[in-house]
Amino acid sequence: MGKYVGEMADWLALRGHEIHVVTAPPHYPQYRVFDGYSSWRYTSRPDAVTRTVHNSVEVRRCPVWVPREPRGWRRILHLTSFALSSLPVMLQESAWRPDVVLVLEPTLFCTPAALAVARLCAATSWLHVQDFEVDAAFQLKDFSSARLKRWVLAIERRVLSKFDRISAISERMVERLHAKGVQPARTALFPNWVDTAAIFPRETPSPLRRELGISPQAVVALCSGSMGKKQGLELMTEVSHQLSYRSDLQFVFSGEGSYRETLALKTKTLKNVITLPLQSVERLNDLLNLADIHLLPQMADAADLVMPSRLTGMMASGRPTIATALPGTQLFRAVQGRGIATTPGDAGSFIAALLQLVDDPILRHRLGAQARGFAVDFLNRDQVLASFEQALLESCGLPLRGARASIPRATAKNVPVEETLMTSGKGSG
C-alpha cells in the first residue's frame, strides 16, 4: 500500500495540490523498519527533522511497534500503536485546515482520528479500502470468536456510516461496501493502477535471465510480491515439487513476507526453483519480463476481501497469469481471457493450467497481449488518478475545470491549490 500512497501523493502534488501525509516508517513486507528510519521517533530519518518534503509532499512519520509475525493480537497491537502515535500529529494537522482527509484501510484503527480532523476542519472525510481487514482477520482464522466478530463488525458498520465518501479497488469490494450498509451514492471505484510506460513488454529477454543462469529455452514461471498468509503459497511448494521432472520449466519466487523463509526452506533441494529477495523499483520491469507465465496463488477466503495489487504489473508486462480464484470473484473476472483461473488450493488444476501454457507458446502470447491491452486501456496510472482527482474535487465542491484537466505536469505548480491530508499505516514510498 505504501507504493500506491506514495505515487498518489506525488501525482497529486505535481497537479498543483498541497499534500500532507501522516504515516509510519516503511516496514512492509519484511515487517522490519527500513534502514535509515526509526520505529520510535517522530521523524522520517534518524538525522532529519520531523517534517520532510518529498516532491512537494509533506511527510510526517510516527512511531509504530512492528512485530516479527503480525498475526492475531500482535497485529492488533501493531495497528493500535500507530493509531495512538499518529493521533496527536493528526490533531495538529487540523490547524492546516485541509479540504479532504483521506484515510487508507488498512488500518481501520486510524478512522477516528481522520473523522475528528475532518469534522474540526469542515473537510470531506474519505475512506479508501485496499483490504477488508476485519473480514480477512476472521476468514483467515486469525480470530475465531463469534461474539468478537459480531462486536467488531458492528463497530465497523458504525465507522463506515460516518464517512462522506468510501472507495474500494474493485467492483466486488464496492458491492461489499453496499452489503455493509454504505449507501451507493457515497461509494466510488478507485482501482489500483500501473505505470504502463514504466512496466512494458521488453523486445529482448530480461537481463535477469542471464544473471540467474536460466537457459534461453526454459519457460519461466514467476511468483512475485508479498509472501504472507493470504497468498496461499503452500500451493507453490506442492506444484514445484510435482513438476520437478520438467527440465524445461523454471520457477522463480521473488518477494518478502512472513512465509518467504518457509517457502525457501521447502524448495531448497529443487533444481527447478530460484528464490530471490524483493527487487528494487528500478528492476521491477526486468523482473516482470523475466516471466513467461505469472503465478498468482490466493487463498479462497481472501478472493473478494483483497484484490492483489501485483496483478496490475503482471498484466502490463504482457504475460499471462495463472491465478487461484473461484468463479464469480473479482480476481476470476480480471484474469479470464488474460490468463487462466484455477480452483484455490487444487494443485492438480493449477498444474494442468501451467503445463497448458508451458506447452503452447501461441496461447501464452495471445493471453499476454490481451493482458497488456487491458492494462493500457483500463489500469493506466494517469487515467485512474485523473478520475480520482476529479472525484476528490467534486466531493468538496471544487469541480475539475476543462482547462485544468489538460495542464501539463511542468506547469502544474502554477495551478490553484486544493489541500489533502492522507493517513496511512504501512509507510509511504
pLDDT of residue 373: 97
- CA 249, 250, 256, 262 dihedral sign is positive
Please, which pLDDT band fits residue 404 given cuts at 50, 70 and 90?
very low
Sort strands 51-54 and 57-61 into parallel, antiparallel or unpaired.
antiparallel
Cell numbers at 19, concatenated: 499534500
In tens, the pLDDT along 328-366 reads 888 899 999 999 999 998 999 999 999 999 999 999 999
Q: What local confidence, expressed as pLDDT, does residue 54 receive?
A: 61
Nearest to 130 by CA among 150, 100, 103: 103
What's the mean pLDDT when you consider all of the chain?
87
Q: How many helices (H) and strands (E) does the chain have?
A: 16, 14
Amino acid (one-letter) located at 419: E
- At residue 394, the pLDDT reads 93
Instruction: Give the C-alpha separation, 259 to 117, whole Å.
Output: 38
Q: Give all domains of the chain, ordered by start, each with its CATH number.
A: 2-193+380-423 (3.40.50.2000), 207-378 (3.40.50.2000)
Weakest-pLDDT range from 123-127, 231-235, 370-374: 231-235
Task: Report residue 402 as a C-alpha cell.
Answer: 476543462
Residue with cell 495538529: 92
Residue 109: CA count within 13 A, CB half-sphere: 21
| pTM, rounded to two decimals | 0.84
Confidence of residue 415 (pLDDT cuts 50, 70, 90): very low
